[in-house]
Amino acid sequence: MQTQLSLFENDMKTRSDVKVSRSGTFLDNMALPIHRWFRYSAGFAAQWVEQVLAGWGITKEQIVLDPFAGSGTVSVVCDTMGIPSIGVEAHSLVSRILKAKLLWPTPPQHVVEFASKVLKRAQNERPHTTTFPPLLERSYEPKALASLNALKSSWLSLRDESPESELVWLALTAILRSTSTAGTAQWQYILPNKTKKHIIEPFFAFQQQIRIIKADLRWMQARADRSCADIIAGDARAFAGIVSRKVDAVITSPPYANNYDYADALRLEMTFWGDVNGWGDIHHAVRRHLIVSSSQHSSRERLLLEDLLALEAVAPIRSELAQVVHELAAVRENHGGKKHYHTMIAAYCRDISLTLQQLQRVCKPGSRMCWVIGDSAPYGVYCPIERWIAELAIAAGFKNYSFDKLRDRNIKWKNRKHRVPLKEGLLWIEG
């Protein structure tokens, strides 16, 4: 018989007692081998993941899953511990970055030799007139852009589908921010109109990044023999049919329902590699494949509120959800932007519910999950996201849950759009 704990009870006997204040940030990972190869806006601390897995007693005979794998924190940690893992990531560029990180068994000298060929060819390339997308022209000095383009052209000419080829691709991708004059907003939106003072010359940055990768390969190879990770470049709402093995544990952090456009976070990188030519291409290339967490997504999809509320996926929370989103629909009329937060929140809950149903299909009985999650208050209308996720989990077939608050959010009122106190924490779910 299923039992449900209060969301704010802290007495779940079988959950880890680990409660690290920085579990919700990727910043700490930038000092860690492999993890530091690419900074991604979304994520959590690798050391915290290791502590949770150790607290749960996860062994090398078990499997860990992250349905929102991002740049691979969980998979890399599991490789370090020799634990098999599965990662699901819908953002095409992010999943490629993740897969490249897991090529750490590649001999370091192979990477150095391939990178040397790319660099030599780029340095010998004759200057020629090239038309670049506006974002790139606004984000780089002409000389730096020419050097980056030479590295890109050189790599494209030499690529051979080898692991070292892909690691050199990652090295080039990783230096696009440090070599740019453009500022970066919170969570990595690129801001061409804001310039920064410290800029690294591209050829030097490339060599520096290769040295980091070389050192990290040696570090990792001294601790493990092979990668135990399986990466699915796909949708968290529809992946269960691809997973052939049942999993024992889930550690994840889904997109927050805070209007952050995850698809836009890597627009600079996608533009550089020709995946998109401008902001207008992002929806077709990436955003439509992600769960809905921004008003741009819900408005572009032209979602209808009543259709969303009628879905079986949101039935367990329909009554309260309807009250909140109808209030959002009314409040938006008083704001100039009239953003589609009402359909965004409803679609977000639909997508999270579908993800939980997929997780229930692949999780073993008695499995454990930990979600790093925060609540939301678009237009100042409070949405108890963590509680809704918990109730949707119970409806999907999981047994119980509890919530540990890690930190308060939105408590400094200056320049805030609303004054609703928010929080971020750990949602522990058992099934």
Strand partners of residue 198:
none
Instruction: Give the pLDDT confidence score for residue 183 in this predicted structure.
Output: 81
pTM of the model: 0.90
pLDDT tens column, 258-277: 888 889 989 999 999 999 99
pLDDT tens column, 326-368: 999 999 999 989 999 999 999 999 999 999 999 999 999 999 9
Residues 179 and 306 in one domain: no
**62 within domain boundaries:** yes
Instruction: Give the pLDDT confidence score for residue 259 in this predicted structure.
Output: 82
pLDDT tens column, 391-405: 999 999 999 999 999
Residues 369 and 422 in one domain: yes
Residues 57 and 91 in one domain: yes
pLDDT tens column, 63-94: 999 999 999 999 999 999 999 999 999 999 99
Q: Contact, 153 vs 125, CB < 8 A?
A: yes
Instruction: Give the pLDDT confidence score for residue 196 in this predicted structure.
Output: 81
Sign of the dihedral defined by the CA atoms of residues 238, 242, 246, 249, in that order: negative
Residues 70 and 126 in one domain: no
Q: What is the DSSP string of 61-78?
A: TS-EEETT-TTTHHHHHH
- pLDDT average, residue stretch 163-175: 99
CA dihedral 153, 155, 156, 159 (to 10 degrees): 160
Domain hosting residue 137, numbered range: 108-212
Residues 182 and 268 in one domain: no
Question: Residue with structure tokens 């080898």?
Answer: 162
- pLDDT average, residue stretch 413-423: 70
Q: Residue 150 corresponds to which tokens in the numbers above? A: 């030479």
Instruction: Give the pLDDT confidence score for residue 410 in this predicted structure.
Output: 66
**347 within domain boundaries:** yes
In terms of average pLDDT, the best of 12-16, 197-201, 205-209 is 205-209
Residues 420 and 330 in one domain: yes
- Amino acid identity of residue 413, one-letter, is W
Residues 294 and 375 in one domain: yes
Residues 246 and 116 in one domain: no
Classify 44 as helix, strand or coil: coil
Question: Residue with structure tokens 């974002």?
Answer: 135
pLDDT band at 144 (very low <50, low <70, confident <90, very high): very high
- pLDDT average, residue stretch 37-58: 90
Residues 125 and 241 in one domain: no
Strand partners of residue 410:
none
pLDDT tens column, 1-27: 333 333 323 333 334 444 444 454 545
Sign of the dihedral defined by the CA atoms of residues 287, 290, 291, 294, in that order: negative
DSSP state, residue 383: B
Give the CATH number for residue 410. Answer: 3.40.50.150
Residues 38 and 180 in one domain: no
Beta-carbon contacts of 61 under 8 Å, excluding residues fewer than 6 positions away, are: none
Residues 51 and 123 in one domain: no
Q: Residue 222 corresponds to which tokens in the numbers above? A: 């001294």
Q: β-strand 85-88 against 64-66: which pairing, if any?
A: parallel
DSSP state, residue 182: E
**341 within domain boundaries:** yes
Instruction: Pick the last residue of a domain from 212, 235, 261.
Output: 212
Residues 262 and 355 in one domain: yes
